[in-house]
Amino acid sequence: MKLDVPIPPGAEERAHEVAMAAFASHRPAPRKRTYWRPVLVVAVVAAAAGILASPPGRSVIQSIREAVGVKNAQREPFSLPAPGRLLVNSARGAWVVEQNGSKRLLGPYREASWSPFGRFVVARRGNTLVTMEPNGNVHWTLAHPGLQLPSWGGKHEDTRIAYLAQRNLHVVAGDGTGDRMRCADSLAPVAPVWQPLSLSVLAFAAENGQVDVYDVTTCRLIMRTKVGPAPSKLQWSSDGKLLLALSPFSLRVYDLHGRAVAQDDPSDGTYDSDASFLPGTHEVAVIRLHGAQADVYVLGVGPARSIFHVVGGLRQVVPSPDGRWVLLTSPVANQWIFVRLGGAHAIRAFSGIAGQFGGGTFPAVSGWIGK
Amino acid sequence: MAGPKGDERAWVRGAQAGNASDFEALFRAHWAQAYRAAYLVVHDSAAAEDIAQEAFLAAVRNLDRFDRRRPFGPWLHRIVVNRAIDWSRRRALRGEVELHDAPVDEPGADMASETVAAMRRLSPEHRAVIVLRHLLGYTPGQIARLLELPRGTVNSRLRRGLDELKEHL
Over residues A241-249, mean pLDDT: 90
Test mutation, B12, B43, B44, B61, chain A, max A CBs within 10 A: B61
Nearest to A283 by CA among A259, A265, A307, A266: A307
Q: pLDDT by residue (tens digit) across A17-73?
A: 778 877 776 654 333 333 323 333 333 333 333 333 333 333 444 444 445 677 777
Give yes or no: residues A105 and A60 share one domain.
no
What's residue B45's pLDDT? 83
Within this chain, do residues A50 and A124 fall inside the same structural domain, yes or no?
A: no
Q: Which residue would you say has higher pLDDT here, B121 or A202?
A: A202
pLDDT at residue A26 in the model: 62
Q: Can you give the three-state secondary structure of A240-275, one letter per residue?
A: CCCEEEEECCEEEEECCCCCEEEEECCCCCEEEEEE
Helix H or strand E encompassing B155: helix B151-168
- B103 and A16 within 8 Å at the Cβ level: the answer is no
pLDDT of residue B5: 58
ipTM: 0.83
**What pLDDT is attached to residue B53?**
83
Lowest mean pLDDT, pick from A33-47, A69-83, A268-282: A33-47
Q: Do A16 and B27 touch (CB under 8 A)?
A: yes
**pLDDT over 60 (residue A320):** yes
Q: Do B60 and A360 touch (CB under 8 A)?
A: no
Provide the pLDDT for residue B49.
84
Q: What DSSP letter does each residue of A278-300 carry, written as one string?
A: PTTSS-EEEEEEETTEEEEEEES
pLDDT of B86 reads: 85
Give the mean pLDDT of chain B. 80
A115 within domain boundaries: yes
CATH number at residue B41: 1.20.140
Q: What is the 8-class DSSP label of residue B131?
A: I
Which region among A175-179, A218-222, B101-105, B119-123 has the lowest average model confidence (pLDDT)? Answer: B101-105
The pLDDT value recorded for residue A29 is 39
For the cut 80, the answer to whether the pLDDT of residue A280 exceeds it is yes
**A3-17, A143-157, A211-225, B33-47: least confident range:** A3-17
**Number of domains composing chain A:** 2
Identify whether A220 is part of a domain: yes
Structural domain tally of chain B?
Answer: 1
Q: How distant is the Cα of A119 from the closest Cα of chain B, in angstroms?
A: 25
Average pLDDT over residues A152-180: 93
Residues of B in contact with A145 (CB under 8 A): none
- Asked if residue A75 belongs to a domain, the reply is no
Whether residue A79 is contained in a domain is answered as: no
pLDDT the model gives residue A76: 66
Using a CB-CB cut-off of 8 Å, the residues of chain A touching B27 are 15-16, 19-20
Percent of chain B at pLDDT exceeding 90: 25
pLDDT at B60: 83
Q: Work out the pLDDT band at A184, boundaries 50, 70, 90.
A: confident
Parent domain of B153: 5-168
What is the least distance, in Å, from the CA of B149 to any CA of chain A?
23
A295-306 as b/e: b if 16+ CB within 10 A = bbbbbbeeebee
A134 alpha carbon, distance to own chain's centre? 20
Can you say whether residue A66 is alpha, beta or left, with left for phi > 0 and alpha for psi between -120 and 50 degrees? Answer: alpha
Alpha-carbon torsion (A167, A169, A174, A180), positive or negative: negative
Quickly state the pLDDT bin for B15 (edges 50, 70, 90).
confident
B117 to chain A, any CB pair closer than 8 A? The answer is no
Please say whether the beta carbons of A229 and A189 come within 8 A. Answer: no
One domain for residues A134 and A55: no
Residues A41 and A136 in one domain: no
- Helix B72-94 vs helix B20-42: crossing angle, to nearest 10: 40
Q: What is the mean pLDDT of residues A141-145?
A: 92
Residue A77 lies in a domain: no
By Cβ distance, the residue of A6, A18, A30 closest to B107 is A6
Q: For the domain that residue A140 is a member of, what is the CATH number?
A: 2.130.10.10
Q: pLDDT-derived band of residue A159, with 50, 70 and 90 as boundaries?
A: very high
Q: A17 CA to chain B: closest CA distance, Å?
A: 10
| B67 contacts chain A (CB < 8 A) | no
- By C-alpha distance, the chain B residue nearest A11 is B49
What residues of chain B lie within 8 A of the CB of A92, using their CB?
A: 103
For B39, which of A5, A18, A22 is closest by C-beta distance? A5
Residues written for chain A: 371
Q: Which residues from B are below 8 Å from A22, CB to CB? A: 56-57, 60
What pLDDT, in 10s, does the model give residues A344-354?
778 899 988 99
* A101, A223: one domain: yes
Q: How far apart are CA B21 and CA B25, in angstroms?
A: 6
Chain B residues within 8 A of A16 when measuring between CB atoms: 24, 27-28, 31
More confident residue, B91 or B71: B71
| b/e B33-45 (16+ beta carbons within 10 angstroms → b) | bbbbbbbbbbbbb
Q: Which residue has the higher pLDDT, A33 or B92?
A: B92
The residues, any chain, with a CB within 8 Å of residue B168's CB and separated by 6 or more, are B118, B121
State the smallest CA–CA distance between residue B134 and chain A in angstroms. Answer: 6
Q: Which domain holds residue A215?
A: 85-369
Residues A141 and A195 reside in one and the same domain: yes
B131 touches chain A (CB under 8 A): yes
Q: Which residues of B touch A9 (CB under 8 A)?
A: 107
Decide if pLDDT at B1 tops 70.
no
- Closest residue in chain A to residue B166, using alpha carbons only: A1
Which residue is closest to A126 within chain B, CA to CA?
Answer: B105
Per CB-CB distance under 8 Å, the chain B contacts of A7 are 32, 35-36, 107
The answer to whether A50 and A319 have CB atoms below 8 angstroms apart is: no
Q: Is residue A6 part of a domain?
A: no
Comparing CA positions, the residue from B39, B62, B59 lying closest to residue B49 is B39
Contacts with B24 from chain A: Cβ below 8 Å: 16, 20
Q: Do A39 and A125 fall within a single domain?
A: no
What pLDDT does B99 receive?
38
> What per-residue confidence (pLDDT) applies to A278?
95
Same domain, A204 and A160: yes
- Are A111 and A245 found together in one domain? yes
Q: CB of B99 within 8 Å of any CB in chain A? A: no
DSSP annotation of A74 reads B
Q: Once rounded to an integer, what is the mean pLDDT over residues B7-25?
A: 86
Q: Using one digit for the tens of pLDDT, what is the confidence trace for B40-79? A: 898 888 788 888 888 888 888 788 888 877 888 999 999 9
Residues A323 and A362 in one domain: yes
The answer to whether the Cβ–Cβ distance between B115 and A1 falls below 8 Å is yes
Residue ranges of chain A whose CB lies within 8 Å of a chain B CB: 1-9, 11-12, 14-16, 18-20, 22-24, 26-28, 30, 51, 59-61, 64, 91-93, 108, 110, 124-126, 291, 359-361
Residue B106 pLDDT: 44
Q: CB burial class (10 A; 0-12, 13-18, 19+) of residue A356?
A: buried
A25 lies in the same domain as A138: no
**Do A121 and A269 reside in the same domain of the chain?**
yes
Picking from B35, B60, B134, the nearest residue to A22 by CB comes out as B60
